[in-house]
Structure 1
Amino acid sequence: GEFQSHTPYLYSTYESHCEAAPTDRDKIMILGSGPNRIGQGIEFDYCCCHAAYALAERGFETIMVNCNPETVSTDYDTADRLYFEPLSLEHVIEVARKERPRGVVVQPGGQTPLKLANALEKEGLKVVGTPVDAIDLAEDRGRFGQLLNRLGIRQPAAGTARTVEEALKVADRIGYPVLVRPSYVLGGTRMRIVYAPDELAAWLDMAAEVVQDNVVLIDQFLEDAFEYDVDAICDGKRVVIAGILEHVEEAGVHSGDSSAIFPAYKFKAGVRDEMQQITRQLGLKMGVKGLMNIQFAEKDGLLYVLEVNPRASRTVPFLAKATGLPLVQIATRVMVGDSLDECGLFEDPVAPHFFAKAPVFPFAKFPGADVLLGPEMRSTGEVMGIGRTPGEAYMKAMQGAGVHLPKSGTVFISVNSRDKVAVIPIARALHDLGFLLTGTRGTALALFDAGIPTQMVYKVNEGSPNAADLIRKGDIDLVINTPLGAESRFDEKEIRVAASDRGLPIITTLTAAEAAVESMRIEDNFERFALQDWSQ
């Protein structure tokens, strides 16, 4: 039979009697991240939970609006009141009309609630923290580009378009390859690297359903650049940089799919200082109150700002665990009016060790899938490795992600023409470790000329036995394949698919290969840390 429920777990329905019974307490609504899916995962749920904890400590009644039963944010005891509702404007407004909160927090939930910010404010609901205009400034490529130009900050050439004709003109002005995506998307959905006009037209046709009324963003693609993620907290007067993560993969790989090392340790002269300066400058100029994430790319010694997100990022929980600081709780206090000084955060935190973030992919469940990474996110989880050195941290992360680098055997190497010089020290290190090397004609000749013994094998389209044949026979233990350009990316797909189907480690960038070699030098008796030593 029916019985009275004492847990405030609410949902909407079409009935004449409302059982919500809101209180008269000072309250703030938190918008969750919605269903877990690629691009919007449990990292944002972590942020929503810690926002609720911080608001509760400040004396607010917390109202969580989310629709995922498999998360901690929808546990009955995380927030004071839970509305199990879709994160649509209609449902959120109806809850707000019933509860009458002081405001709504959108930063912790990621891109899903961020998309609602402007509409919520138009409906009279105050967005707590970073002003809606600053959110729009970050998302509006035209306005954001003008801000960077005024501040003298470098950015990739970019443009926006609403039609095929406009897109083709913008791409022609920028020069191929270009990075294209719809605005306000999750996890790089439908994002592509495009190398020619016919590819761009085909992409626009394919992505029409996602683009809808939004504009298409078109950016110069910085091929072969290095990427960094910076997370920071700004209170309107001061910016504290929580951490700079160095991506192991090069620019063009979605940040959620890229392995990363914290603290970043490979910088060209002046790049770190410039990165910190730009982060503080943008945080203050944009009027950020709370969390912000900036993605940078460095190419040929020049630093570019790729994008600014005035919200939580998927790396915030990682940095909170690494630094031992409750970053989301501090940022939430800042959103409701506390200063960084009042929160006890006076300077940028210093990491006690090296920390590696590694993604977990579902490729084993999808035989025949190409493992080549790109701007559209494909990972379904991530792990952390902790070590005294970057190599030790990276190896632990790889093992946690289920990737076991070989200690002996044969390595197949096939790199693009730009990488043929840079791959030489990597190949020499593998040779010194006792590995046999094999490669396609161009790579093998480059290594042989450098004095590194390398067996030459056919490309897939040159005959048999070719590289894919050797992989299928079990004669290869590790694959290093760095495609460049559209033709190379797709011509070598068979090699990557064959390696994936056999469960071999596949490395598609030289930076990842360098990290892997450093890890392979480490013996298995590295230091282990107890989980209890890390409080967050």
Structure 2
Amino acid sequence: IVCGIENIDAMGVHTGDSVTVAPILTLTDKEYQALRDASFAIMRKVGVETGGSNVQFAINPNPEPNPDGSKPFDFVVVEMNPRVSRSSALASKATGFPIAKIAAKLAVGYTLDELRNDITGNTSACFEPSIDYVVTKMPRWTFEKFPEADETLTTQMKSVGEAMAIGRTFKESLQKVIRSMDVKRFGFGLDKNDQWLAAKRAMDAGQPPPKPGEEGVVLRTADDQPIEWPITPEKLARKLSVPSQGRLYYIRYAMKEGWTNEKIRDLSGIDPFFLDQMRQLVDFEDTLSGYERLEDLPKEVMFEAKQLGYADAQLANLYLGNISSENILKVRARRKELGIEPVYKLVDTCAAEFDAVTPYFYSTYESSYTSFSETGETSTLFSDEIRVSKTPKVVILGGGPNRIGQGIEFDYCCCHAAYAADELGFESVMINSNPETVSTDYDTSDLLFFEPLTLEDVLNIYEKLDTGAEGESGLVKGFIVQFGGQTPLNLAHGLKLAGVPILGTSLDSIDLAEDRDRFDALLEKLGLERPASGIARSLDQAVEIAEEIGYPVLVRPSYVLGGRGMEICPDKKALVHYMTSALDVSDLDGAPVLIDKFLAGATEVDVDVVADFDPTADEQPAGRRAVCCGVMQHIEHAGVHSGDSACVVPPYSLSRPVEEQIREITRTLARELRVCGLMNAQLAVKDERIYLIEVNPRASRTAPFVSKAKHISWPSVAAKAMLGKTLDEMGVQEVRDTGAYAIKESVFPFQKFPGVDFVLGPEMRSTGEVMGIDLTVPVAYLKALAAASSELPTEGGVFLSVRNDDKPHAVPIARSLMAMGFTVYTTEGTGALLQEHGMRPQVLQRIAAGARPNVIDLMSDGRITLVINTPSRTGWQTDEGKIRATAVRLNIPMITTITGAEAGVRAIEASRAGGWEVRALQDYAELAKKVRAEGAGDAPPRPATVRSGSGV
């Protein structure tokens, strides 16, 4: 048995949506051995000869007593997976035992006793790991992207990521995992979301408790949604009995209200052990709140707080009034003044029975001990298992838990940064809290710290590594913060304030790109065009700007990823609604709202750039330059978030002069921003005019795609540039032609959210992506769609319904489909248009009309195999919303943009024609080398387009 993992939530919540704990904490040894024996018996009966398996049990908390009155251990088997599972990945990170790696070696003939334990280096892998710490995993949800979704947690998994934390106790690891979630929470309470603390401050000031929406008061759930104050007992009971992402905080509320553990257990089904642990935290808050000032807090109380997992940010909020980098550093200074600092322990698989050679660490707080020398001198020491070498170090900050807008793409960048640092002779140090990633494998970096990505935790590691055992200082060359997405960037200012060296592009350049006024001034200086725009910090300003530049407008907060809070407002009413309901989305307090003129029908382009400019020099040294990693043309028009749009590299229909101008624009911007590392630019092309949408001087989510498409690790190149290598020294040149087209397609989670309408827009909703590659665009797109589980049919019926703006483009689409033998079903409006052009579609009445069979009937009986619907109305209650929901439920391929439909038709034609083949990525890499060796300067021949700038 590698690891036992316990769900905190009762049966009925998918294990991927439950907070889980390892090792199992609520069973006696006899009960644990019963589950262990049952697991072995199941594996033997199923016939598992080798590899890893996962067995899930459910335990009856209230079994019928035995005749003698004793309590039996009553359990059932929920399921058994004779394969590596999601839980296997978590167990591997929790114990340091690489289940998948061991299983692969067993599959090719090794036996367990022949394999070595990588962590210790001198013991066998034929052992059961023993751990002397507690691991807590917490799911990360993104319900804010799907406001229509039911947030109730059931047997259908709804989370999109997770974080893991390690501590000496459950209380410590629980608080650490909460602050790992990057949801503006720093623990179980006492942070800016603590409504109890807000109420106490109000009453201390002689004011009534705050009400929702009051200025300056933050009363919010984990996902930043307003809550009621006070909560009625009826609602609180319902919140405890119905599993949801915020239930832990309702449990805390109930404890503050005086509800007993028994009452909470009866409502929630959560084991009394965990409730007692949570209550200890709630009770300790009263101890902390008994001191008025930070200076009054005794050393022993602060030390106990740190052992319980309380963050400096929580103490800053309690004693200094708010959470800011400055206040966190003040608490830090006071803590260090008292001599309270963390120690680092190894994840060693054996509870310190053997020495570990793999540096995989977590932090905790332990009491010191006194050492006596032979001469009688004494010294105070801490049980710290970290040993700092003299080798210069590079610290890479990961992205934390996956979420929409910040996913595994950034982990690719972090891993390749670690590889690059190793190549240049540095020790690579990885800090991350995500057990799903490669960056948190113990063999990816030289040192791995499984820690929350907060200012406190990162600074603790920096100070520990920057000074050697013999007093050497300055061992950390710097931090790479631009590869992990927005999470590490949000820490950058605090790190700089603390004197931490930041590698690569300066923070001032990153801020310049986000600061609309400064960036507009730069564009004006360079003579570059962008959509008419403005910055609003109030509703009145927003309305004034929108009326000046003209509707429709694109509005979004600054300093966000994944288009969070982004919306297209067609009129004043929509803008007013946006400004009054979506202004707390930015990750930085006080960030303004950006308003742009929306360019309807424009072709959007993404460009990734790598540069080696000196971020501190006004006059750049000779030879410093920027290289375009790739120019990506979106298939969907502007208005669909770049993370949701399919994109093609190289561009398939941009004119050569426009493409060259785009390359020159992005290289110039990289020079002006003094980019050292990666930069991403988004542009729109309309009527051969180029508009700059935004520039981000950091790694983007397209970096892995461009790296695979061009067969070059651009993050590795960028990391080496940050560490002092020039592009000339690395021999890096632009790669315009690889002899093939690569297409990125997005993967969406709509099947997980019944009632959510499948409509693409400016806010990102995809949870992953795939790539198709081939010598032609249609086949590459066909492969990409198939990889995204949206394989296009080659026969059957197609339902075609488009909004008025798209109807002229529906004619050639329908004609092509009919020519291939498809039966085309349409709504009355689209059908009338096709009839005017000599076609005879099958016209269906609206669902609301009640005529049968309707489109949903035809979808249900398999006669419709593809849905093409460009939305005119959204919402699952509408006719078209019901059609889209049915397509998702029945897994019928669906296309919701007209340009996507044009590309899809060409892909179907290619599929029917056949003749294409499957090749390994290495074969395409060899083709690219051959093309470069032959000196071809042009991209592959571009196929004819359906219409300029949109079709394929």
TM bucket by the smaller chain?
over 0.9
1:180-329 equivalences under 5 Å are 180-211=555-586, 212-236=589-613, 237-268=624-655, 270-329=657-716
Residue from 821, 824, 833 that aligns with 1:446: 833
Give me the whole-angstrom Cα distance separating, in 1, the residues matched to 2:400 and 2:815.
48
Q: Among the aligned pairs, what percent are the same residue?
A: 49
Structure 1 Cα separation of the partners of residues 808 and 825 of structure 2: 16
Q: What is the CA-CA distance between 1:189 and the residue it aligns to? A: 1.9
- Superposed displacement of residue 463, structure 1: 5.2
Q: Deviations over 1:69-118 (max 9, x none)?
A: 22111111211111222212222222222222121111221222122223
Alignment map for 1:356-375 (pairs within 5 Å):
356-375=743-762
- Cα displacement string for residues 455-507 of structure 1 (whole angstroms, at most 9, x for unaligned residues): 33234455534544544454422221223587999773222222222221111
1:428 aligned to which of 808, 811, 815: 815
Correspondence for 2:535: 160
Contact 1:321–1:534, Cα closer than 8 Å, also in 2: no
Deviation at 1:269, TM superposition (A): 6.2
Letter in 1 for 2:657: G
Q: Is the 8 A contact 2:397 2:430 kept in 1?
A: yes
Report if aligned partners of 1:230, 1:244 keep a CA contact under 8 Å in 2.
Answer: yes
Tell me if structure 1 keeps the 8 A contact 2:874–2:881.
no
Partner of 1:15: 366
Structure 1, residues 163-217: CA drift from partner, whole Å, max 9, x if none?
2333232333232222222222221222222223333333334334424432222
> Residue 30 of structure 1 contacts residue 63 of structure 1 at CA under 8 Å; is this kept in 2?
yes
Q: TM-score, normalised by structure 1?
A: 0.94
Query: Do the aligned partners of residues 436 and 490 (structure 1) sit closer, same or farther apart at CA in structure 2, a change above 3 Å counting?
Result: same
Distance, in Å, in 2 between the alignment partners of 1:22 and 1:221 is: 53
Q: Which amino acid aligns with 1:13?
A: T
Distance (whole Å) between structure 1 residues aligned to residue 591 and residue 924 of structure 2: 43
Evaluate the alpha carbon distance shift between residue 345 and residue 489 of structure 1 in structure 2; reply closer, same or farther with a 3 A threshold. farther
**Distance in 1 of aligned mates of 2:627 and 2:922:** 27
C-alpha separation between the residues in 2 aligned to 1:217 and 1:460? 40
After the TM superposition, which of the residue ranges 29-38 and 168-177 deviates more from structure 2?
168-177
- More displaced 10-residue stretch of structure 1: 282-291 or 21-30: 21-30
After superposition, the Cα gap between the structure-2 partners of 1:97 and 1:292, relative to the gap in structure 1 and judged at 3 Å, is same
Aligned to 1:391: 778
Structure 1, unaligned runs of 5 or more: none
Does 2:431 align with 1:65? yes
- Greater shift, 379-388 or 192-201, is seen at 192-201
Pairing of 1:406-485 with structure 2 (within 5 A):
406-461=793-848, 464-465=851-852, 466-468=854-856, 470-483=858-871
Offset, 1:400 = 1.0
CA distance in 1, matches of 2:639, 2:698: 21
Residue in 2 that maps onto 1:402: 789
Shift in Å at residue 8 of structure 1?
1.5
CA gap of 1:387–1:348, structure 2 versus 1, over 3 A, is closer
The residue number in structure 1 matching 2:481 is: 106
Question: What does residue 340 of structure 1 align with?
Answer: 727
- Check whether the contact 2:481–2:502 (CA below 8 A) recurs between aligned residues: yes
Look up the equivalent residue of 1:166 and give its one-letter code: Q
Superposition deviation, residue 246 in structure 1: 1.4
Could you tell me how far apart the structure 1 residues matched to 2:676 and 2:849 are? 58
Number of equivalent positions: 536
1:30-62, Cα deviation, whole Å (9 max, x unpaired): 111111121111111111011011111111111
Contact 1:195–1:485 under 8 Å retained in 2:
no
Instruction: Give 1:330's match in structure 2, choosing from 701, 717, 720.
Output: 717
Letter in 2 for 1:483: P
**Distance change >3 Å, CA 530–CA 347, structure 1 → 2:** closer
| Residues 757 and 876, structure 2, Cα contact 8 Å, conserved in 1 | no
The 2-side partners of 1:519 and 1:205 are apart by 43
User: Bigger shift: 356-365 or 468-477?
Assistant: 468-477
- 2:393–2:426 Cα contact (<8 Å) kept: yes
Q: Does 1:493 align with 2:885?
A: no
Query: 2:412, 2:704 within 8 Å by CA — same for their partners in 1?
Result: yes
1:511 to 864, 874, 899: 899
Cα RMSD over matched residues? 2.3
Q: 1:509 to 1:203 in 2, by over 3 A?
A: same
1:157–1:473 Cα change, 3 Å: farther
Aligned counterpart, 2:246: none
Match of 1:132 among 474, 483, 507: 507
Give the residue type in structure 2 aligned to 1:526. W
Task: Give yes or no for the alignment of 1:117 onto 2:492.
Answer: yes
For residues 512 and 123 of structure 1, what CA distance do their matches in structure 2 show?
A: 49
More displaced 10-residue stretch of structure 1: 265-274 or 321-330: 265-274
Shift of 1:407: 1.1
C-alpha distance in 1, partners of 2:497/2:818? 64
Distance 1:397 1:479, change over 3 A: same
Partners of 2:848 and 2:713 lie apart in 1 by 54
Separation in structure 2 between the aligned mates of residue 266 and residue 489 of structure 1, nearest angstrom: 38
- Report the equivalent of 1:2: 352
Q: Please give the secondary structure, in 1, of the residue aligned with 2:839.
A: coil
Structure 1 position 41 matched with structure 2 position 415: no
In 2, Cα distance between equivalents of 1:361 and 1:324: 26
Q: TM-score, normalised by structure 2?
A: 0.54
Please state whether the residue corresponding to 1:521 is helix, strand or coil: helix
> Pick from 367, 378, 395: which aligns with 1:29?
395
Selected match of 1:75 from 435, 441, 462: 441
The equivalent residue for 1:148 is 523
Structure 1 residues 27, 289: CA separation in 2 closer, same or farther (over 3 Å shift)? Answer: same
Q: Output the amino acid matched with 2:634.
A: H
Deviations 1:423-472 (A, max 9, x none): 22222111111112222233222222222222332344555345445444
> Is the alpha carbon distance of 1:62 and 1:354 closer, same or farther for their aligned partners in structure 2, counting shifts above 3 Å?
same
CA distance in 1 between partners of 2:904 and 2:426 (Å): 48
CA distance in 1, matches of 2:888, 2:916: 28
Task: For residue 772 of structure 2, give the secondary structure of its aligned residue in structure 1.
Answer: strand
- Hey, what's the Cα distance between the residues in 1 that align with 2:803 and 2:578? 25
In 2, Cα distance between the equivalents of 1:154 and 1:486? 33
Question: Residues 756 and 876 of structure 2 are in contact (CA less than 8 Å); yes or no, is this contact kept in structure 1?
Answer: no
Judged with a 3 Å threshold, the aligned counterparts in structure 2 of structure 1 residues 268 and 420 are, in CA distance, closer, same or farther, namely farther
**In structure 2, distance between residues paired with 1:492 and 1:500:** 12
In 2, Cα distance between the equivalents of 1:262 and 1:274?
16
Question: Aligned in 2, Cα 1:46/1:167: closer, same or farther, shift over 3 Å?
Answer: same
Displacement, 1:396? 0.8
Distance 2:534 2:875 in 1: 25
Give ranges in structure 2 of 5+ residues lacking alignment.
1-350, 368-381, 467-475, 614-623, 927-952
Q: Distance in 2 between matches of 1:463 and 1:154?
A: 52
Stretch of structure 1 that moved more, 268-277 or 335-344 = 268-277
1:134–1:287 contact (8 Å) kept in structure 2: yes
